[in-house]
Amino acid sequence: MKCYKSKWILTSEGEILKDYAIVVDEGKIIDIIPNSQVNFEEKVVKELGNAVITPGFIDLFTQYQYTDIGALKPTHMKNKIKKFFQTIAKKYTFAGVKPDNYSLKWANILSEYYAMDRAEKIESFKKGIEASIKAGTTCIAQVSKEYKYFDIINKVPIKNYLFFEVFADSSDKSKRKFKDLRDKVEDLIYHKGENTHIGIMLNSIPGVHKKLWELFSKYCRKHNMLLMTRFAESQDEIEWLKFGFSDIDLLHKFMGFRKITPYTKGLNPVSYLDNLKVLTKKIIVTNANYADENELKQLSETGVKYVYQPLYSEEICNKKLDFATVLNYFKENFGFSTQSFAENKSFSLLELANEANKEIELPIDELLKYITIYPAKILRLENTTGSIKIGKDADFNVFKLPDGEDFTALKTISIPYSTYSKGRKLIKAGNVRFTL
């Protein structure tokens, strides 16, 4: 048993506790008591001083396999050759396309990723996980189409959702992809650890054939499984819906897909998926950068959950929703993603939320809910994580505060002093205390 005495506890349960302690035993919070009532033997009591305890943070969309994109240069001859041919193929496919084009940006990312060997991809993946935990993240929603990351993520010491990503460019391929992924998922369910949960990621509206939408929508409803998708992410997607073609076709060609067309042209993104009976409370959509006010209203009314990716949206999509708009349409129904392809990317959800909050200036305890309890509810993990509450797992962060400062100093802090998952100390003063 351990007892952690702190000046402040932000519970994400509507309470701000001053001079309280949490008592942890076997990975669970078993009590929350005033510091004055702590009478345990000295060796189990941790005096944190002028510090604030927060719930562990939850990142709603990660792709850690891309962590080293932009920073890693091919060294082995085999990888240099792969990079050379990827570059030639990209230049041929995207001849005449402007450098800021969304589809070209993704082709640049993928060409670098394809040139990495297996060991480099795995190292990139592990690096992203470690950096996130250092920043106080104790739960992630990782998106990948590759099964090789399952064994790694299944052993990480934090909670995780692994969303398997799938594409399809025809009805026949949809049926094959559905059967293959369904069988794989149902096998992995029997091999996953207690921290791991599995969902489905249908790549995007223009990246998934109508048939696959229908098959996985029905499957996820039947098995009470979460389904995620990119939504209204780019101008290329909007043009594809309107005209039946756009530069997204070039990206698909680069990736080796056949041309895919909308089942009906001229629909907006909400109507396109709503007609397929996809949009439900169990669907998580990302970005919606190119949805207009009316479409955002329609989307929010379907009950879908939302992922706010401000860094990725600016870097790759050339447009982002402002924080005020997100709060207006998805209040208490969204969480943040730190995804970024910047070379010196930050994995701090607190830093990201504070930057977004400059527009609105929510109280810090309210802002924290968007990186703790609200995303926990979206992932349906609120019974075990997302807040400081008796009976929940001891997933929490400790932030040391400057002398004389109170918990509002979190507005200027980005990295915790220590991070705990199920009562296990994973980070102390920036030092990692776990292995992957």
What is the band of 343 on the pLDDT scale with cuts at 50, 70, 90? confident
Nearest by Cα to 291 from 315, 311, 267, 312: 267
Show the tokens assigned to 330: 């998805």
Give just the sign of the alpha carbon dihedral 371, 377, 380, 382: positive
Counting Cα atoms < 13 Å in the Cβ hemisphere of 102 gives 22
Mean pLDDT, residues 238-246 taken together = 96
| 77 has a pLDDT exceeding 70 | no
SS (H, E, C) 305-327: EEEECHHHHHHHHCCCCCHHHHH
Mean pLDDT, residues 404-420 taken together = 96
Mean pLDDT, residues 241-253 taken together = 96
| 299 has a pLDDT exceeding 80 | yes
Rounded to whole angstroms, how far apart are CA atoms 167 and 163?
Answer: 13
pLDDT digits (tens, 9 = 90+) for 55-64: 999 999 999 9
Nearest by Cα to 419 from 168, 208, 137: 137
State percent of the chain over pLDDT 90. 89
pLDDT digits (tens, 9 = 90+) for 124-152: 999 999 999 999 999 999 999 998 899 99
Give just the sign of the alpha carbon dihedral 64, 67, 68, 70: positive
| Mean pLDDT of the chain, nearest integer | 94
Alpha helices in 96-190 (DSSP H): 102-114, 118-134, 150-153, 171-188
| 168 has a pLDDT exceeding 90 | yes
**Comparing 89 with 420, which gets the higher pLDDT?**
420
pLDDT digits (tens, 9 = 90+) for 354-375: 999 998 999 999 999 999 999 9
**Does residue 340 contact residue 346 with C-beta atoms inside 8 Å?**
yes
Q: What pLDDT score does 141 carry?
A: 98
| 208 has a pLDDT exceeding 70 | yes
What is the band of 82 on the pLDDT scale with cuts at 50, 70, 90? low
Residue length, the chain? Answer: 436
Q: What pLDDT score does 421 carry?
A: 98
Task: Report residue 40: phi and psi, to 5°.
Answer: -80, 165
Q: What pLDDT score does 84 carry?
A: 60
**Does residue 328 contact residue 321 with C-beta atoms inside 8 Å?**
no
Instruction: Please compute Rg for the chain using Cα positions.
Output: 22
Cα separations in angstroms, 151 against 129, 133, 181, 268, 347: 14, 18, 17, 39, 22
Task: Report residue 144: phi and psi, to 5°.
Answer: -160, 145
Rounded to whole angstroms, how far apart are CA atoms 155 and 4?
Answer: 27
**Comparing 86 with 400, which gets the higher pLDDT?**
400
Q: What pLDDT score does 91 carry?
A: 79
Q: What pLDDT score does 273 carry?
A: 97
Q: What pLDDT score does 92 carry?
A: 77
State percent of the chain over pLDDT 70. 97
Nearest by Cα to 413 from 135, 201, 132: 135
What residues does 9 pair with on adjacent strands? 17, 53
Exposure class string for 61-93: b at 16+ Cβ within 10 A, else e: bbbbbbbbbbebebeeeebeebbeebeebbeeb
| 352 has a pLDDT exceeding 90 | yes
Nearest by Cα to 410 from 356, 370, 353: 353
| 86 has a pLDDT exceeding 80 | no
Q: Name 231's Cβ contacts closer than 8 Å, sequence gap at least 6.
A: 204, 205, 269, 273, 285, 286, 287, 288, 291, 299
What is the band of 344 on the pLDDT scale with cuts at 50, 70, 90? confident
CA 121 to chain centre: 18
Nearest by Cα to 189 from 159, 166, 158, 161: 161
Show the tokens assigned to 18: 């001053």
What residues does 334 pair with on adjacent strands? 306
pLDDT digits (tens, 9 = 90+) for 31-51: 999 999 999 999 999 999 999
Kindly report the CA angle at 204 between 199 and 210, in degrees rounded to 5? Answer: 95
| 190 has a pLDDT exceeding 80 | yes
State pTM to two decimals: 0.96
pLDDT digits (tens, 9 = 90+) for 98-129: 999 999 999 999 999 988 989 999 999 999 99
What is the band of 341 on the pLDDT scale with cuts at 50, 70, 90? very high
Please report where in the chains the tokens 């949805």 appear, as a residue. Answer: 291
Q: What pLDDT score does 78 carry?
A: 61
Q: What pLDDT score does 80 carry?
A: 62
- Measured from the Cβ of residue 50, the count of other Cβ atoms closer than 10 Å reads 17
Q: At what angle do helices 171-188 and 210-222 cross, to 10 degrees?
A: 30
Please report where in the chains the tokens 């939320």 appear, as a residue. Answer: 353
What is the band of 2 on the pLDDT scale with cuts at 50, 70, 90? very high
